[in-house]
Amino acid sequence: MKANVVFLLHAHMPYVRRNGDWPVGEEWLLEAWAECYLPLLEMLRRMALEGWGRLSITLTPILAEQLDDPYMQERFHQYLENKLRQCEEERVRLERMRDLERRRVNRHYFAFYHRLLELWGSRYRGRMRSVFRELSDSGRLEILASAATHAFLPMLRGGKERERQVRLGSRHHREWFGAKPRGFWLPECAWAEGMEDLAESLSKEADYVVLNFSAASMEEDTSVPRTLCGAGPRVLLRDRVLHELVWAWEGLPSHPQYREFHKRDLEGHGFQYWRISGPGVPLDEKECYRREEALERVRKDALFFVGELEKRASSLKDPGRSLLLAAYDAEIFGHWWSEGMAWLEETLRLLESHPSLNLSTAAGFLDGCGEAPLRTISPAMTSWGRNHDFSTWICPHTEAGRRELLEREKRYAEVASGTDIPSSGERAMRQALRELLLMESSDWFYMMGQGEGSGYAQERLREHCRRFDLCLKLALEGRCDGELAMLEETDNPFPPELLGAPARQA
């Protein structure tokens, strides 16, 4: 009997619309849009048209809101046009320098952005939501729901705050795709003791959730589905070996032929002209990138990965009822790992008619398992962060920010449940909820904890706190002024009907 394999890509970016530009801010999302999301949609379109492949992805509500936003779509169009202009300026500069090697890489970039701009104008602009829905309807793509703004759920003040993130995420999925989500991605694959009530709520919103392999002991078989805390939904666990093949320091993306992510040509427009070159090679000694050699490596690495899948499958006790779950951040493919999307497509094609491996979606696998009783899993603490605990987000570097967030969560709960808000304050109260949801994003605490972009993250948290305080003041006073309108334009995820009634009214 064939063993089941699922590739699950977790697509997520924090809310950056009108909140900064470069190096973190809107440009962060625009890069991922060009290098990951649009190439991914093209690959999925080929899958649907040609009848091969299966893929599961998470499309977080806060990312979906931005991809569907007219302002961000116009910014993306401008971004692609600017990239083409920069490619032409680079061509002139490199020809003047007689740098033939970098000129060859420059031609690749020009062709890449030129093709994206054509596709954007002819196929995707103004249709991001409908394209995702069409691909989902094709049966080749399964889309999971997730928490509204990708909050680190164990860190929130209590059950009501967690349930609000989950319910809003589920409602958003129903609005976009017209059906209850089959799967729900728990942000950062995080779970903690004391969240049992949320497990029961999740069972009403989705059929299954995804947790990291660290939710089980080292000795346990992570390929077997479980039930979360007894009353919760089913649980699928990421596979440790498949994780390390891509994420480990010496994993597949580290091969010398692949493009170096970190080195940019700062004398020009910041293009990446170099390849990794080898382990430990300093940035100033990197060799020039050769796209053809990198794509040759892609084929070898796809064959190698499938071989590792075969080894994993051979160790399973009951292959037909087991799952090898290869779950990764979507942005690895194409953005961090330039050749990653080509590798993913090659791997999926190799698996299409494999004699001992069955490529499936997560929901498709569970449908084939039937309703047999499953063992319960109740993790005390798990995540896919550093050390598989909470230290990536909950640490001394994030202490002040966490304190500010918890104070606002408490204040919102007090006002929403115990104060009569004038009808004229409803708009301001709803905007206060948006600001609170944006404060809860795990991304700010990740950036502060890691030290990468921590200044931007601290500023974003401070600014959302300020905006929240102002909105709550306006709500209690029943006022709507120009500053509220500006905040509604700046931070505008989730329409009013999706957010629901924010508080009791006088």
CATH number at residue 416: 1.20.1430.10
**pLDDT beyond 70 at 259:** yes
Tell me if residue 433 falls in helix, strand or coil: helix
Query: 3-state DSSP call for residue 356?
Result: coil
* pLDDT average, residue stretch 150-164: 97
Answer whether residue 213 is part of any domain.
yes
The pLDDT of residue 481: 86
Token pair, residue 277, equals: 């070159």
Higher pLDDT, 452 or 388: 388
Point out the domain boundary residue: 320, 355, 387.
387
Beta strands in 338-444 (DSSP E): 357-359, 376-377, 381-382
**Quick one: 429 and 326 in the same domain?**
no
In sequence order, the 6+-apart residues with CB closer than 8 A to the CB of 414 are none
What are the structure tokens assigned to 315, written together? 């160790």
**Token pair 């909470």 is at which residue?**
390
- pLDDT tens per residue across span 191-239: 999 999 999 999 999 999 999 999 999 889 999 999 999 889 999 999 9
**Position 93 in a domain:** yes
Please report, for residues 214, 286, 343, the alpha-carbon distance to residue 274 in angstroms, rounded to integers and kept in the order given.
36, 6, 19
Average pLDDT in the 264-273 region? 97
| One domain for residues 401 and 268 | no
Q: Do 80 and 46 belong to one domain?
A: yes
Q: Is 160 exposed, middle or buried (0-12, 13-18, 19+ CB in 10 A)?
A: middle
Nearest Cα residue to 245 out of 303, 191, 183, 296: 303
Rounded mean pLDDT, 411-439: 93
Q: Which residue has the higher pLDDT, 440 or 219?
A: 440
Q: What CA–CA distance (Å, rounded) separates 274 from 294?
A: 11
Strand, coil or helix: 479: coil
φ/ψ of residue 145, rounded to 5: -85, 170
Residue 137 lies in a domain: yes
pLDDT at 452: 78
What tens digit of pLDDT does each residue of 364-377 get?
A: 999 998 777 899 99
User: Which residue in this structure is represented by tokens 């809107």?
Assistant: 26
| Structural Rg of the chain based on CA atoms | 23
Asked if residues 191 and 154 have their Cβ atoms less than 8 Å apart, the reply is yes
Domain-located, residue 282: yes
The residue out of 333, 353, 387 marking a domain boundary is 387
Alpha-carbon separation of residue 110 from 86, 342, 397 (angstroms): 9, 18, 41
Together in a domain, 49 and 66: yes
In three state form, how does the secondary structure of 25-60 look? CHHHHHHHHHHHHHHHHHHHHHHHHHCCCCEEEEEC
Same domain membership, residue 419 and residue 373: no
Cα gap 186→152, rounded to integer Å: 8
Instruction: Please give the pLDDT value at position 33.
Output: 98
Q: Count up the domains in the chain and report the number.
A: 2
Is the full-model pTM beyond 0.85? yes
71 and 140 belong to one structural domain: yes
Tell me the average pLDDT across 74-87. 98
- My answer on whether 404 and 365 are in the same domain is no
Residues 197 and 228 in one domain: yes
Are residues 383 and 399 located together in one domain of the fold? Answer: no
- Is the model's pLDDT at 408 over the cut of 50? yes
Task: Answer for the pair 388, 382: CB distance below 8 angstroms, yes or no.
Answer: yes
Q: What is d(CA 272, CA 109) in angstroms, rounded to the nearest whole number?
A: 10
Reference 56, options 205, 206, 203, 202; nearest CA is 206
* 504 within some domain: no
Whether pLDDT at 503 is above 70: no
pLDDT in tens, 325-371: 999 999 999 999 999 999 999 999 999 999 999 999 999 999 998 77
Average pLDDT over residues 437-455: 94
pLDDT score for 453: 79
pLDDT in tens, 269-306: 999 999 999 999 999 999 999 999 999 999 999 999 99
Q: Coil, strand or helix: which one is 224?
A: coil
Instruction: Tell me, yes or no, whether 506 lies in a domain.
Output: no
- 28 and 71 in a single domain? The answer is yes
Query: Tokens 């104070």, residue?
Result: 407
Q: Quote the Cα angle for 456-460-463, to 5°.
A: 135
Within a domain: 505: no
The CATH number of whichever domain residue 354 belongs to comes to: 3.20.110.10
Q: Which of these three, 352, 387, 422, is where a domain ends?
A: 387
* Whole-number pLDDT of residue 373: 82
Judge whether residue 18 has pLDDT over 50. yes
Q: How far apart are CA 373 and CA 310, in angstroms?
A: 27
Verify that 234 and 293 share a domain, yes or no.
yes
Amino acid at 6: V
Residue 212: which of 444, 442, 379, 373 has the closest Cα? 379
Q: How confident is the model at residue 502 (pLDDT cuts 50, 70, 90)?
A: low
Residue 191: φ, ψ to 5°: -150, 150
pLDDT of 451 > 70? The answer is: yes
147, part of any domain: yes
Q: Are residues 142 and 246 in the same domain?
A: yes
CA–CA distance, 235 with 229 (Å, rounded to integer): 10
pLDDT at 289: 98
- Full DSSP string of 152-211: -GGGSSSHHHHHHHHHHHHHHHHHHHSS--SEEEPGGG-EETT-HHHHHHHHHH-SEEEE
The tokens 């690749």 sit on which residue? 108
Average pLDDT, the chain: 96
Neighbours of 293 (CB within 10 A): 12
Tell which residue, 29, 8, 131, 109, has the closest CA to residue 76. 29
Distance CA 88, CA 110 (A): 8
What are the C-alpha distances in Å from 233 to residues 97, 210, 211, 439, 487?
61, 10, 12, 28, 37
For range 1-6, the mean pLDDT: 96
**Whole-number Å distance between alpha carbons of 454 and 363:** 37
- Residues spanned by the domain of 92: 3-387
> Residue 506 above 80 pLDDT?
no
What whole-number distance in Å separates Cα of residue 123 and Cα of residue 505?
Answer: 45
